[in-house]
Amino acid sequence: MASMSVKHAIAAAKKLRSLQERFNPGGSDIYPALMGDEAITALIPSGNPLSVHILMFTRALREQGTDEQYEKFGRRADNNEIIGTFAQTELGHGTYLRGLEARADYDRGTEEFVLNTPKLSSYKWWPGGLGQTCNYCIFVAQLYIDNEAKGMAMFVVQIRDEETHMPLPGVHVGEIGKKMGLNGVNNGFLGLKDYRVPRLNMLMRHQQVLPDGRFVKSPVSQVSYFPMVFVRCMVARQNSNYLAQAATIATRYSVIRRQSPIEEGQPEPKILEHLTQQMKVIPEIVTAVVYRLAAANLQNMYNETAEAVYRKDFSRLPELHALACILKVATSYDSTYGIERLRQACGGHGYLTAGNLGNIFAMAAPACTYEGENSVLYLQVGKILMKNWSQVLAGRELMPSMAYISECSKMTSFPQWTGSWECLLKAIQYACVGSIRLAFQSYNARVQSAQSQTAAVNYSGLELTKAAELHGRSYVAGNFYQQIVNSPNKHQRSPQFQKVLENMLELHLIQIFFRHLGDILRFIRITEDEISALQRRLEEVLKELRPDAVAITDAFDFNDKILSSALGCYDGNVYERLFEAALKHPLNRKSVPDFFEAHLKPFMKENADNAKKSKL
Ligand SMILES: CCCCCCCC/C=C\CCCC(=O)SCCNC(=O)CCNC(=O)[C@H](O)C(C)(C)COP(=O)(O)OP(=O)(O)OC[C@H]1O[C@@H](n2cnc3c(N)ncnc32)[C@H](O)[C@@H]1OP(=O)(O)O
Ligand SMILES: Cc1cc2nc3c(=O)[nH]c(=O)nc-3n(C[C@H](O)[C@H](O)[C@H](O)COP(=O)(O)OP(=O)(O)OC[C@H]3O[C@@H](n4cnc5c(N)ncnc54)[C@H](O)[C@@H]3O)c2cc1C
């Protein structure tokens, strides 16, 4: 499996490189985006062993290395002359980066770093492609000068011979083992023992160790976390695509499959005519659209911020970090749960490998863990919200994506309920701000009762998480509202198209309202009649969107090869394709399987003989 995926990944890399040269000669930016795109991930169903090389190794060299270091390592990596990975996580630590145990001691006598993974728990563990594909890596370690810790630093480390691919002396490298999916990625382990690299192998764009051992601190230490910010943005985009793929499959299947007359004596309808089926499928289509738009916005913000960071302007980093975290969490959680819901919406056939929903799930689910475990990132956003709430209390302006928090904080009570989109959006934002206020009070009370700030974060963790989750909902819903209602492109849309978009907005807002009804009722009074009215609107908008479901998913524009699904093909020949796939199964190669004579027949015979004996 690993060797097939390496072969496919290389073919894809070549093809994309040629597209890059044709459409963006000399540029380097579209290549990583293309490389990680849905086409590639779908065509390499066991995972792309070059993803971390392209998304993290090359970027870190470009963004964390000096120009000289880029010339030495980065250019070769961009050309795929060397293949690397990002080796940060260890067997004993993934989340708590300050606890990483790998160390780099500066030897000023030789102007080298001595790299070590001193214990079993300090072995690098998980990096994509490290097991077999890579010959280089970025090794993240605690930097020590004269045995004094200076914080995290990144080192370019050659781990295999460029000619023979043999591991170099002092390097212990291998594959970590079979996973629930992504088995083509050869995630690896790495131990280093007194492994020396020249001083200029430490990436020194933002912090430096001078030849005499003097340490020049980065102006902003968090900039060393920047490679993770990029991948979080990519996860937001990629997981939205996985959800869109699953939604396309389930929608197409739901207009082919017929089951159970709705009226006695009537023919069996397409299953998508059943209201509960609409509720399983259509909201997921809409969620995919909503997240794709949010992820596109995030990507633009990333591009602008990355350019600024390259010029050493770090001012927008906190906002990008907060948004990348929350969208990474929201898209990975919602796509994972959504894909499973869509699998169930395909009944028994959804469980067949031929439907491909299992593999799409296996691709999407680990994003809840990698690149920052989701609960940990919720807490990270929760902490940022606390900081921003202090700013609100001090009357200061907030970053644009949090401006709604200031606005809601000024409201003494929620305005008259109208049920309009503006009212629904405001209700979500208002509940979010109420949750932030409660979390802040709880956190503050703990700090005032002499708890440390970190302990106060831990014990207010549930409230911080709730506030972060609602902030994600507020941002995503607000972004969708702006794009549908206030977009400058609105007037170029046909009235029919605008109506479909507005129906999607209606469904999204009502869906989020019902998901968070408990949270909203905590802060806003809404009557039973007002809630019932929303229930009727939900049923109505599902009915309105039903005829558009196929067209919307067709507009995602996945071709059959990418979906790889007997249930989701464009031509709708579901049963023919399921049969075709079944007949290809190895057990169908022979009418009588080998195990019959060897095991089954003797077993049955023995039972028959015993039965005969007991009758005698
Ligand atoms: C189309 C493409 C397809 C995509 C598919 C992807 C394919 C690739 C597949 C897999 C790749 C997976 C690769 C990896 O997993 S690499 C390893 C990733 N590891 C992590 O993400 C570790 C998670 N941990 C952390 O990020 C941090 O430790 C932490 C949780 C944020 C906590 O760190 P720390 O304790 O140091 O920090 P504080 O909480 O005290 O925060 C201090 C201040 O720093 C700010 N901060 C934190 N992180 C960042 C950041 N990234 N950028 C900017 N600022 C950051 C934080 O807000 C605090 O700020 P303050 O103002 O309060 O001082
Ligand atoms: C498919 C895959 C690919 C990966 N690729 C790479 C790669 O290329 N390079 C790389 O370096 N790493 C990679 N990783 C590792 C990944 O980044 C880590 O697994 C991830 O950051 C989570 O860290 P952890 O495994 O240590 O989880 P842990 O931190 O041990 O989490 C376990 C549990 O503890 C909880 N927890 C931890 N800390 C806190 C806290 N402060 N507060 C509350 N709860 C907490 C978590 O919420 C979670 O429930 C990959 C992982 C996977 C699954």
369-407: per-residue pLDDT in tens?
Answer: 999 999 999 999 999 999 999 999 999 999 999 999 999
Residue 127 CB–ligand 2 contact under 6 Å: yes
Higher pLDDT, residue 615 or 190: 190
151 DSSP β-pair partners: 143
User: Does an H or E element contain 198, and which?
Assistant: strand 195-198
- Whole-number Å distance between alpha carbons of 59 and 510: 40
Residue 128 is labelled as binding a ligand: yes
Which whole-number Å values give the CA distances from 511 to 287, 424, 425, 500, 553, in the listed order? 10, 10, 11, 16, 19
Q: What is the structure's pLDDT at 83?
A: 97
Q: Which atom of ligand 2 is nearest to the CA of 87?
A: 11
Q: Span 582-602, mean pLDDT?
A: 95
Note the pLDDT tens digit of each residue in 149-189. Answer: 999 999 999 999 999 999 999 999 999 999 999 999 999 99
Q: DSSP string spanning 372-417?
A: S-HHHHHHHHHHHHHHHHHHHHTTPPPPGGGHHHHHHHT-SSPPPP
259-263, 299-303, 309-313, 448-452: least confidently modelled range: 309-313
* 551 pLDDT higher than 90: yes
Average of pLDDT values for 280-296? 98
Average pLDDT, the chain: 95
Q: Residue 406: how many CB atoms within 10 A of its CB?
A: 17
228 CA distance to ligand 1 middle (Å): 6
| pTM beyond cutoff 0.90 | yes
Instruction: Render pLDDT for 128-151 as a digit per residue (tens, 0 to 9).
Output: 999 999 999 999 999 999 999 999
As a whole number of angstroms, the distance between CA 298 and CA 326 comes to 11
**Ligand 2 neighbourhood includes 350 CB (under 6 angstroms):** no
Q: Out of 117, 373, 379, give the residue to mutate to test ligand 2, the one with the largest number of ligand atoms within 8 Å of its CB.
A: 373
Q: Is 373 in the pocket of ligand 2 (CB under 6 A)?
A: yes
Q: Where are the beta strands (DSSP E) in 412-551?
A: none
Confidence bin at 29 (pLDDT 50/70/90): low
Tell me the per-residue pLDDT of 103-127, one tens digit each, with 9 for 90 and over. 999 999 999 999 999 999 999 999 9
pLDDT value at residue 36: 56
Measure the CA dihedral 494/479/520/412, to 10°: -110
Task: Return phi, psi of residue 223, to 5°.
Answer: -65, -20
Report percent pLDDT > 90 for the chain.
90
pLDDT reading at 28 higher than 70: no
Q: Which atom of ligand 2 lies nearest, measured to the CA of 52?
A: 8
Measured torsion, CA atoms of residues 124, 188, 331, 36, in degrees rounded to the nearest 10: 120
- The reply to whether ligand 2 has any atom less than 6 angstroms from the CB of 131 is no
45 lines ligand 1 (CB under 6 A): no
- Using CA atoms, how far residue 304 sits from 221, 222, 299, 309, 320, in Å, is 20, 18, 9, 9, 10
Res 284 pLDDT > 60: yes
pLDDT digits (tens, 9 = 90+) for 413-441: 999 999 999 999 999 999 999 999 999 99
- Report pLDDT for 458: 98
Rounded to an integer, what is the distance from CA 215 to the centroid of its chain? 36
Average pLDDT over residues 28-47: 65
Q: What is the pLDDT of residues 451-504, one digit of tens each?
A: 999 999 999 999 999 999 999 999 999 999 999 999 998 999 999 999 999 999
* Cβ count near 607 (within 10 Å): 10
- Contact of 549 with 338, CB cutoff 8 Å: no
- pLDDT bin (cut points 50, 70, 90) of residue 30 is low
Task: Name the percent of the chain in helix, strand, coil, to the closest 5.
Answer: 60, 10, 30
Alpha helices for 24-167 (secondary structure H): 30-35, 38-43, 51-52, 58-64, 67-69, 75-78
Q: Looking up tokens 């299953």, which residue turns up?
A: 271
Q: How far, in Å, is the centroid of ligand 2 from the Cα of 457?
A: 19
Predicted pLDDT of residue 12: 75
Ligand closest to 234 (CA) is: 1
- Picking from 14-28, 102-116, 204-218, 432-446, which range would have the lowest pLDDT averaged per residue? 14-28
* CA 370 to chain centroid: 8
ipTM: 0.98
Are residues 176 and 137 in contact, defined by beta-carbon separation less than 8 angstroms? no
Average of per-residue pLDDT across 526-535: 98
The answer, yes or no, to whether residue 32 has pLDDT greater than 70, is no
> Taking a C-beta distance cutoff of 8 angstroms, is the pair 213, 146 a contact?
yes
Tell me how far the alpha carbon of residue 503 is from its chain's centroid: 27
Looking at the annotation, which residues are catalytic?
Answer: 371
Q: Beta strands of 25-176 (E only): which ranges?
A: 86-87, 103-107, 112-116, 124-125, 136-145, 148-158, 171-175
Q: Is 331 annotated as a binding residue?
A: no
Looking at residues 292-308, what average pLDDT do you find? 95
Instruction: Give the model's pLDDT for residue 38.
Output: 60
**Most ligand 2 atoms within 8 A of CB, residue of 88, 91, 376 to mutate:** 376
Residue 143 CA to its chain's centroid (Å): 30
